[in-house]
Amino acid sequence: MYSKILILRFPKTEVQKPVVCNLTKKFDLTFNILNAAILPRREGIMVLELSGEKKHFREAVRYLKDQGVQVQNADQEIKRSASRCTQCGACTAVCPTGALHVKRPEMEVEFDQNRCSLCELCIPACPTRAMEVRPTNSVFFE
């Protein structure tokens, strides 16, 4: 059983949709809402513990992001060390979401954290250890 605590940030347009219920229906995951501040027509934030098969977890995070929800691991996040990255491109071959991709025509490897599904496949794939799991700074409600 795979389990993580996630911070979800919902844009104004998504707070009315049953996005969280779909995590159970579509991906067979269970969730436990630990904290939430969600108001109609306002941006919302929710902290929940999500549990289930790791593969389903990854698919669910991708689904949430496709719905416009920002997803952040409550205690860890994926970062790239610019000083260690040699632009070799190895990570782009394993990244399932396109968060790591080659920008053309510059041919630079870019990291778009908003598209990252937290799968961690890039960590062992990077020869210079530029991709890292780091502790998340802080969690706050507005």
**Residue ranges binding ligand SF4 (CB under 6 A):** 78, 80, 85-91, 94-97, 99-100, 109, 116-122, 125-126, 128, 130-131
Relative to beta strand 44-52, strand 2-10 is antiparallel
CB contact set of 107 (below 8 Å; sequence gap of 6+): none
**Tokens 């549990």, residue?**
51
CB of 57 to ligand SF4, least distance (A): 12
| Closer Cβ to ligand SF4, 21 or 88, answer by number | 88
Q: Name which of 15 and 96 has its Cβ closer to ligand SF4.
A: 96
Other residues' Cβ atoms within 10 Å of the Cβ of residue 130 = 21
Q: 12 or 134, CB closer to ligand SF4?
A: 134
CA-angle at 101, arms to 95 and 103, nearest 5°: 175
Nearer to ligand SF4 among residue 26 and residue 129 (C-beta): 129
CA distances from residue 99 to 72, 103, 124, 141 in whole angstroms, order as listed: 14, 11, 16, 26
Q: How far is the CB of 15 from ligand SF4 (least distance, A)?
A: 25
Minimal distance, residue 39 CB to ligand SF4, in Å: 30
Strand partners, 71: 8
Rounded least distance, CB 41 to ligand SF4, Å = 31
Of 21 and 93, nearer to ligand SF4 (C-beta) is: 93
Distance of CA 23 to the CA centre of its chain: 14
Q: How far is the CB of 42 from ligand SF4 (least distance, A)?
A: 29
